[in-house]
Amino acid sequence: MMRTRVKVCGITNIEDALAAAHAGADAIGLVFYAQSPRAVTAEQAAEIVAALPPFVTTVALFVDAPADEVQQVLQQVPIDLLQFHGDEPSEFCVSFQRPYIKALRMQPGIDITRQANMHPLALGILLDAWVPGLPGGTGQTFNWNDIPSLTQPLVLAGGLTADNVQQAITQVNPWAVDISGGVEMSKGRKDHAKVQAFMQAVNNAV
């Protein structure tokens, strides 16, 4: 059986990027959102990506960024996939002519299926916890029983750790899981032992 893919998000330095890659992460996430404690500049991101071994997908995360900011990052950094984590409409997301995933937050009363259907060209739908006033990276989980079945592959995020990811995979069967705070020693610095423990938990999940 194929194992669940893993993205380690919020990478801010080369050491953490290599630790994620060597632990077996399929993708690393680079946050281009200035309010995040994990934000990187295009220059920092370019150095991180240049240090990666082959076959590690690079994901650029934006939260309602202006189009020219996204374009500038794409010109300076070899990015494989875009992650839109705000309220970006489909026309905006497709305008960069790059593969993208759309993050949706599990806000009570929101019709997730309808929102996901508004992004028919998204490679996947990432579901994250809803915390008022914060776009993501909150370390909060949500009720996985509330996840509807979606047309696009599901990326499960929000408060995952080595301790809960096996339960998440068993219950939700996502295409991929995305983790940030659960493998940190402090905001923006990964704990390499936690990254390895997370990968091991995913590898052993059934």
Q: Which residues bind ligand LGQLAAA5 (CB under 6 A)?
A: 9-10, 29, 31, 33, 36, 38, 61, 63, 85, 126, 128, 135-139, 157-160, 178-182
> Which of the following is catalytic: 9, 16, 26, 93?
9
How many Å apart are CA 24 and CA 56, to the nearest integer? 9
Is residue 9 part of the annotated active site? The answer reads yes
Tokens of 49: 């990506």
**128 is a catalytic site residue:** yes
**Residue 84, exposed/middle/buried by CB under 10 A (0-12, 13-18, 19+)?**
buried
> Minimum distance between the CB of residue 139 and ligand LGQLAAA5, rounded to whole angstroms?
5
- Output the six-digit token pair for 186: 């402090």
Q: Tell me how far, at minimum, the Cβ of 56 lies from ligand LGQLAAA5, in Å.
A: 16
Q: Which residues contact 97 (CB under 8 A, 6 or more apart)?
A: none
Q: How far is the CB of 62 from ligand LGQLAAA5 (least distance, A)?
A: 9
Q: Which is nearer to ligand LGQLAAA5, 1 or 30 (CB)?
A: 30
13, 17, 18, 20 alpha-carbon torsion, rounded to 10°: 140
> Which residue's CB is nearer to ligand LGQLAAA5, number 154 or number 157?
157
For residue 11, what are the CA distances in angstroms to 5, 59, 89? 17, 10, 26
Residue 35 beta carbon to ligand LGQLAAA5: minimum distance, rounded to whole angstroms:
7
The nearest distance, CB 18 to ligand LGQLAAA5, in angstroms, is: 19
Among 26, 128, 146, 191, the active-site one is: 128
Closest CA to 143 of 163, 168, 165, 162: 168
Q: How far apart are CA 56 and CA 205, in angstroms?
A: 21
Q: Which is nearer to ligand LGQLAAA5, 52 or 165 (CB)?
A: 165
Nearer to ligand LGQLAAA5, 52 or 174 (CB): 174
> Under 8 Å CB-to-CB from 48, ≥6 apart: which residues?
11, 12, 13, 14, 17, 28, 30, 40
- With respect to ligand LGQLAAA5, which residue has the nearer C-beta, 25 or 63? 63
Cite the active site residues: 9, 128
